[in-house]
Amino acid sequence: MVASSDNNGFIPLAVPEIRGNEWKYVKECLDTNWVSSVGSFVDRFEDMLAEYVGSKHAVATVNGTAALHVSLLVAGIEPDDEVIVSTLTFVAPVNAIRYVGAWPVFMDAEPDYWQMDPKKLERFLAEECQWKDGVLVNKASGRRVRAIIPVHVLGHPCDMTPIMELANKYGLTVIEDATESLGAGYDGRLLGRFGDIACFSFNGNKLITTGGGGMIVTDNQEWADRARYLTTQAKDDPIEYYHNEIGYNYRLTNIQAAMGVAQVEVLDELIEAKRTIARRYDEELRSIEGLTLMPTQPETTPVYWLYTILMSPGTTLEERKETIKTLNQQGVGSRPLWHPIHGLPPYADCQSYQMDASMDLYNRAISIPCSSGLTEIEQQRCIDSLKAVLG
Ligand SMILES: Cc1ncc(COP(=O)(O)O)c(C=O)c1O
């Protein structure tokens, strides 16, 4: 294990932890020439992840965004359909909705736990949608409402019980974006087990990494087969180069999967390390007046992908930006939450529903270093800086 800080003593927000077998397994790929997207590590990585999450099938992809794109395709989401999605998220799941020609409808975050607000979701479906000839239609746009993408942000779960009840009541497909939350639990089950299909990311800053990579998990055999087909250029006859459909070059390589296998082997240890760091931050930062600590919902077991705090109510965007600048100058890597997507230029004309909490969270939130390899000395430096800057 190596300390997280770089040669200048700067502590980044999230760095990978390479414990050892990554070298061995990647060397095996290089030694045997199995470097591309066919190879035993791809199968092993898929099997290990499916077993870890508790899913019947897993399909490895080049990244989490591709996993989301293909999930929407296999779920049959079509051009001009609508998909309800969290506004407080990294932009990838929303872009994926547009890749298939569908439209996002943005749902606000709820203020206490920062995830998709199930009460607003319920109100939107009851008041803003109607059934027409057996199809759920958005009254404002006249389009079919087909799916929900709850994004489990920061390593914490969305409130899946009410979300799944609503999805069942309204016949909506649920695609979980669990890219930031591998290993997090809700009501006794791991994320990725609630929706019809779910996606993970193994980008360099994620809990485990393959450099870049993603995974689709589902219990639906047909969808898994189709995801495998679409991600490998939709090859119907690989000898004759015959393709019945337009496919994608979205499969993970064996080299990347080799890294993934080594990372899954230590996943539980990495999660435990992050939970320990989060507990220490909770204890130490509690005394800073006005600060809101990262909340944990009852009956959940978060993985604290990015430990995030809220500055006091009423903090302006400028004050938050200045604070992040100061922390970074002090060598404590910090950054804000994502700008709520409904306010970004490509999505400004899309429907957003009763936005309120997400902008306030964006104005006040700061994510601080929480790599699994963060040493106690580095943790103390972060705590001291935060106390000095915010106390
Ligand atoms: C919520 C969310 N969805 C999707 C992605 C996309 O994953 P990738 O970077 O592997 O494409 C990310 C992050 O990277 C993310 O944070």
Task: Please give the distance, rounded to the nearest whole angstrom, from the Cα atom of residue 59 to the centre of ligand 1.
Answer: 16
Query: Token digits for 104?
Result: 């996002």
pLDDT at 3: 59
Q: What order do you get walking across the sheet with 145-149 strand by strand?
A: 57-61, 214-218, 197-201, 173-177, 145-149, 82-86, 103-107, 352-353
Query: Token digits for 53?
Result: 């999450």
Give ligand 1 pocket residues (Cβ under 6 A). Answer: 63-65, 89-90, 92-93, 151, 177, 179-180, 201, 203, 214
Rounded Cα distance, 64 and 151, in Å: 12
Strands (E), 155-242: 173-177, 185-186, 189-190, 197-201, 214-218
Task: Please give the distance, rounded to the nearest whole angstrom, from the Cα atom of residue 257 to the centre of ligand 1.
Answer: 18
Task: Please give the distance, rounded to the nearest whole angstrom, from the Cα atom of residue 212 to the centre of ligand 1.
Answer: 10
Rounded Cα distance, 312 and 323, in Å: 12
Rounded Cα distance, 12 and 5, in Å: 6
Count the Cβ atoms, other than its own, within 10 Å of residue 31. 8
SS (H, E, C) 339-386: CCHHHCHHHCCCCEECCCHHHHHHHHEEEECCCCCCCHHHHHHHHHHH
Minimal CA–CA distance to 102: which of 55, 57, 56, 138? Answer: 138
pLDDT at 38: 87
pLDDT at 250: 98
Minimal CA–CA distance to 330: which of 283, 366, 282, 373? Answer: 366
Task: Please give the distance, rounded to the nearest whole angstrom, from the Cα atom of residue 271 to the centre of ligand 1.
Answer: 19
Residue 253: φ, ψ to 5°: -85, 160
Task: Please give the distance, rounded to the nearest whole angstrom, from the Cα atom of residue 12 to the centre of ligand 1.
Answer: 18
Q: 69-96: string of b/e by CB count within 10 Å (b at 16+)?
A: bbbbbbbebeeebbbbbbbbbbebbbbb
pLDDT in tens, the chain (391 residues): 555 777 778 999 999 999 889 999 999 999 999 998 888 999 999 999 999 999 999 999 999 999 999 999 999 999 999 999 999 999 999 999 999 999 999 999 999 999 999 999 999 999 999 999 999 999 999 999 999 999 999 999 999 999 999 999 999 999 999 999 999 999 999 999 999 999 999 999 999 999 999 999 999 999 999 999 999 999 999 899 999 999 999 999 999 999 999 999 999 999 999 999 999 999 999 999 999 999 999 999 999 999 999 999 999 999 999 999 999 999 999 999 999 999 999 999 999 999 999 999 999 999 999 999 999 999 999 999 999 999 8
Rounded Cα distance, 78 and 33, in Å: 40
Task: Please give the distance, rounded to the nearest whole angstrom, from the Cα atom of residue 32 to the centre of ligand 1.
Answer: 31
Query: Token digits for 131?
Result: 């059934």
Atom of ligand 1 nearest to the CA of 65: 11
SS (H, E, C) 114-129: CCECHHHHHHHHHHHE
Residue 308 · residue 294 · CB < 8 Å: yes
Please identify which residue in the block is written with the tokens 């047909």: 222
Strands (E), the chain: 57-61, 82-86, 103-107, 129-132, 135-138, 145-149, 173-177, 185-186, 189-190, 197-201, 214-218, 300-301, 307-310, 352-353, 365-368
pLDDT at 88: 98
Which of 95, 158, 179, 206 maximizes ligand 1 atoms within 8 Å of its Cβ, making it the mutation to test the pocket? Answer: 179
pLDDT at 121: 98
Atom of ligand 1 nearest to the CA of 63: 10
Rounded Cα distance, 376 and 273, in Å: 11
Instruction: Provide the 8-state DSSP code for 318.
Output: H
Please identify which residue in the block is written with the tokens 């922390």: 327
Atom of ligand 1 nearest to the CA of 214: 10
Minimal CA–CA distance to 21: which of 264, 193, 248, 237? Answer: 264
Count the Cβ atoms, other than its own, within 10 Å of residue 56. 11
Atom of ligand 1 nearest to the CA of 205: 14
Residues near 378 by beta carbon (within 8 Å), at least 6 away in sequence: 3, 4, 5, 11, 369
